[in-house]
Amino acid sequence: MKFAPIAAIAALALTAFTGAAFAGEVRVTLTGVKAKSGTILATLQTEAQFMKSRGAYNMMAPAPAADGSLTIVFPDVAPGAYAFSAMHDENGDYQMQREESGMPTEGWAMSKGAALTTAAPPTFAVVKVDVPAAGVTLTEPMFYPAAR
């Protein structure tokens, strides 16, 4: 019976180590980020979470002081299919501002966003990215509405 606590600790350590071995890093470089006030909010979402306010993994990054690129890193992401999305929350309300037509008035990015060709909302099947155990690196453009 003296070995029971040691065996339990060893099993717990093995479980923690094994879990970490199967989780990779998702690194997303956003290009075309504008130097505007606010925060860049980013998420990785499963199909069940798609287009909702939060996902399986969520990050916040300060908006850059100059126009350019910004890299967001999601550590320890379990393998699976995810959609990446980001928004430049200029007013700090944690919600995408939209025109009456539904088009965003704040900057946004999405996995495979450059391939989206219609004004229709994207589907998970179109924008999903398969994340292997080793992780994945993405580069996605930010889109900002034309100045009015």
- From CA 77, how far away is CA 38, in angstroms rounded? 26
Domain 23-141 has CATH 2.60.40: yes
Tens of pLDDT along 68-79? 999 999 999 999
Domain positions in the chain: 23-141
Q: Which residues contact 143 (CB under 8 A, 6 or more apart)?
A: 32, 104, 107, 108, 109, 113
Tens of pLDDT along 16-66? 444 445 789 999 999 999 999 999 999 999 999 999 888 999 999 988 888
- From CA 46, how far away is CA 41, in angstroms rounded? 17
As a whole-number percent, the residues of the chain with pLDDT over 70 amount to 82
Tens of pLDDT along 90-136? 988 888 888 887 778 899 999 998 888 667 788 999 999 999 999 99
Q: How far is CA 46 from CA 11, 40, 82, in A?
A: 30, 20, 5
> Phi/psi at 113 (nearest 5 deg)?
-60, -35
